[in-house]
Amino acid sequence: METCSVRWRSSGGRGEFEFVPAETLADRNIHVLFEPLGITIPAEVFGVRAQGKPRLRKLDSNNRQKLHLPQFVMAVARLPEPAREDLTHAVTFPLENKSFVMDSMEFDVIDDDGIDVTLSPLRVTIRNSDFLIELRDRLEAIAKDVAGIADIAAHHPDLAAAILAHSDAINAGVNDALIRRTADAVIALQQEIFGSTNVGSVTVLEKAAELPETEEEEATGKEGRLLTRIHVYKERDRNIVKLAKKDFKAKNGGKLVCICCGLDPVEVYGPDGERAIEAHHSTPIEQLQPDSITRISDLDMLCATCHRVVHSRRPCLTVEEVRALMAPIAATA
């Protein structure tokens, strides 16, 4: 299946959006298939060649009730609204409305008859960071919330009503700023109840609240407790950890070693030493998307000691930061 991407680019003022490959969306009206939600919506955006450059344009450029393509997809996915200008050149998490710029949004090209093209959102990256959001995971989480709305309403009726209002705005099948406003209402209520996160799934947050507390939560404030809990329990998912260790060994000559300190526990302790290697979710807690599927590429292999050091601060130390801590000691050894 063909893919294309929509990219932000500076234009000396408010940013523009280009599409790649250049011929993909040219002279096409764009429709967006939100498959997990079971709906296709005309984006009311089309592709042009402006002075030979591939650019996206709104059909009604002066109508503020119509969202540009990236803003439209982010609103449906219940994510904060990206800015059109990169004013700060810095990103902080959790993301907030107009505090960041979208770098690139990728799509599958589902159908193209030369006049109309239908796109299905795949993922979005954030400028000035390596943050990547899997949009399909996000949309599936939203669909799961709608399907389980009765359970959410039993605990948080206002939040359930906001989720349904957002769903109704989407199901109207029109690109309208109401989708953005209802998304913002859900985000605000989630933050009030669960703390400030970019989580898409209320269902996941409810389940996280029921999980036993972890030792790592002692170092976090109220707003980070649920994310820390989810982060830790993802690292304890035996199935994904087993697959990640198997994949690591296949790529490293059959050895399972700590990527921080280089410890090969089998050399030290024999075959049982492999149990000293643990899987660490490499995504920083503030950027964690608990409603997204954990993939083996998301897990780093650390010895138990390095893993504890990584978790000794919030946000977690990175592998590079732990290596830097060890560098002076290694230099004197």
Number of domains within the chain: 2
> Does residue 174 surpass a pLDDT of 90?
yes
The pLDDT value recorded for residue 222 is: 53
Residue 203 lies in a domain: no
Coil, strand, or helix at residue 34? strand
Q: What is the CATH number of the domain that holds 229?
A: 3.30.40
The pLDDT value recorded for residue 224 is: 64
Same domain, yes or no: 22 and 109: yes
> Does residue 290 surpass a pLDDT of 70?
no
- Judge residue 104's burial from the number of C-beta atoms within 10 Å of its C-beta, 0-12 exposed, 13-18 middle, 19 or more buried: middle
The pLDDT value recorded for residue 187 is: 93
On whether the pTM is more than 0.85, the answer is no
**Residue among 206, 182, 185, 180 nearest 194 (CA):** 206
Same domain, yes or no: 130 and 35: yes
Same domain, yes or no: 128 and 225: no
- State pLDDT tens for residues 33-90: 999 999 999 999 999 987 888 999 999 989 999 999 999 999 999 999 999 888 878 8
Same domain, yes or no: 86 and 230: no
Coil, strand, or helix at residue 312? coil
Q: How far is the C-alpha of 285 from the C-alpha of 281, rounded, in Å?
A: 9
Same domain, yes or no: 188 and 216: no
**Residue among 114, 129, 139, 176 nearest 33 (CA):** 139
Residue 127 lies in a domain: yes
Residue 205 lies in a domain: no
Domain that holds residue 308: 211-332
